[in-house]
C-alpha cells in the first residue's frame, strides 16, 4: 500500500486529509519562500530586507515593495500548493 493510502486510512474524509497536507506544506513553504525572498532582496538592493516594514526608519517605497513582493509570492505559492495537492489526492 502506498504512503498516501496508509495516511488516508487515518482520516474520515478526503477534505480533512487535504486540509492537513495543505497546512503542513504551506508552513514548510513559508520558511523557504521567506529565505528566497530575503536572498533576492539582498541581491537586488544590496542591503538587508526590512525587518519591520511599519518602522518609520524604513522608507515608504521599501515598505510597499517588501509588502507587495512577500504578499504576492506567498499567495502564489499557497495557490499552487492547494491546487496541486488537491489534484494529487483526488487523482490517487
Over the stretch 47-68, which tens digit does the pLDDT of each residue have? 999 989 889 999 999 999 999 9
Residue 42 has pLDDT above 90, yes or no: yes
Average pLDDT, integer, range 30-38: 93
Torsion of CA 42, 48, 54, 59, to 10 degrees: -80
Which pLDDT score, from 0 to 100, does residue 4 have?
Answer: 63
The grid cell for 41 is 532582496
Distance CA 10, CA 85 (A): 18
Which pLDDT score, from 0 to 100, does residue 89 have?
Answer: 54
pLDDT confidence tier of residue 19, bands split at 50, 70 and 90: confident
For the residues of 50-73, what is the DSSP string, one character each? PS-TTSTTS-HHHHHHHHHHHHHH
Amino acid at each position: 500500500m502506498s504512503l498516501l493510502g496508509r495516511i488516508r486510512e487515518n482520516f474520515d474524509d478526503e477534505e480533512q486529509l487535504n486540509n492537513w497536507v495543505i497546512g503542513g506544506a504551506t508552513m514548510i513553504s513559508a520558511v523557504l519562500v521567506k529565505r528566497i525572498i530575503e536572498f533576492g532582496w539582498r541581491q537586488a538592493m544590496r542591503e538587508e530586507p526590512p525587518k519591520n516594514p511599519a518602522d518609520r526608519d524604513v522608507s515608504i517605497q521599501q515598505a510597499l515593495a517588501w509588502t507587495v513582493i512577500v504578499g504576492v509570492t506567498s499567495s502564489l505559492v499557497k495557490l499552487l500548493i492547494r491546487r496541486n495537492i488537491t489534484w494529487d489526492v483526488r487523482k490517487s
